Structure 1
Amino acid sequence: MRFEVERKFLVADEGWQAGVTRRRRFTDGLIGQFETGNKVRVRLDEDRAWLTVKGERVGLGRPEFEYEIPRADAEAMLSLVCDTCFIEKTRHCVPHAGLLWEVDVYGGTLAGMILAEVELEHEAQAFEPPPWLGREVTGDPRFRQSALLRRFGEAGRVVTLEEVLAGPL
């Protein structure tokens, strides 16, 4: 079992683009979410597919289990189980001050949304924020992928960052 400690931020400007070392396209579909915060998702990229089970949050972290699955199964889950409730994004890897930042540029239903994440070894780990980093949204429930999908479903159209920020906490 892996314990994921992750912090999430808005992006203040396009300065991150100069440091990109790798890009990957993802499609994520939410299979199930529970009141405790536990969730199950299917993810597909250019090379592989997998299921992820995330446990209840404890501070900034949560247990995470990942299982690789056949690509055809992931595609079937996205179309049959997740319906149109999925996220498309391109993840840009940007090393900075000894850590790997992941800048997610959303497409499809969340086109225009850009969030940066960094995984830490422990909650108290200090880090140097990159100059392009904006406001931290780690604990903000409006920026969880499930909340973004729900917001899109309610709107029935692309949801803007301004709309997410104006929404209830």
Structure 2
Amino acid sequence: MAKEIERKFLVRGQEWRSLVEDRIRIRQFYLASSPGRSVRLRISNDRVATLTLKFGSRGRERDEFEYEVPLDDAREMQDQAVGRVIEKTRHHVSHRGYLYEVDVFSGDLSGLVIAELETPDDVPAAELPAWLGREVTGDPRYYNASLALGDAPEAVA
């Protein structure tokens, strides 16, 4: 088991785009979700499928278990998805020794751009990149499960 320690931010502007080091196309969906727990399948670049179980709702920190599953099984399980299938492109951007994952959503969530920073360090605001907007860590509207199961947050509208 791993502990996931994550901060989330809305992204403003386009400055980050010139800093992109890698891109991953992601299609993900939920098989189950309830307060404090979720079961997600993610297909990356249409080549690798990962089943993720998350437990907890303590803002920045949750328990996370991940398992690779056969790609054909994942595609078949998509028929069992609850809510919308999320499609996004994840961009890797480094800043001051930290890796930021900038997710640009498409489809129903087009217009939403969220940056995630996974680190146990408490990075001070002065060291965060200028292109980060409002922090939404702990705001359940921006959890991927909420994006799949609920209405689009205000940043999309």
**Same fold, TM-score > 0.5, yes or no:** yes
Gapped runs of 5+ residues in structure 2? none
Q: Which has the higher strand share?
A: 2
Superposition pairs for residues 87-126 of structure 1, below 5 Å?
87-122=86-121, 124-126=122-124
Partner of 1:166: none
Q: CA deviation at 1:27?
A: 0.5
Count of residue correspondences: 155
Q: Normalising to structure 2: TM-score of the pair?
A: 0.90
What does the per-residue CA deviation read over 1:86-136, in whole Å, with 9 as the maximum and x for residues that have no partner? 1000000000000000000001121111000100125x4547210111000
Separation in 2, partners of 1:84, 1:151: 8
Q: Retained in 2: the 8 A contact 1:113–1:160?
A: no
Superposition pairs for residues 31-70 of structure 1, below 5 Å?
31-35=31-35, 37-46=36-45, 47-70=47-70
Code of the aligned partner of 2:43 = L
Q: Is 1:25 paired with 2:19? A: no
Q: Is 1:141 paired with 2:128? A: no
Range moving further from structure 2, 143-152 or 4-13: 143-152
Range moving further from structure 2, 128-137 or 51-60: 51-60
Gapped runs of 5+ residues in structure 1? 153-157, 164-169
Code of the aligned partner of 1:149 = A
CA separation of 1:61 and 1:83: change in aligned 2, threshold 3 A: closer
Structure 1 runs of 4+ with >6 Å offset? none
Separation in 1, partners of 2:137, 2:58: 13
Code of the aligned partner of 2:80 = V
| Secondary structure in structure 2 of the residue aligned to 1:149 | helix
| Secondary structure in structure 2 of the residue aligned to 1:76 | helix
Q: Retained in 2: the 8 A contact 1:92–1:103?
A: yes
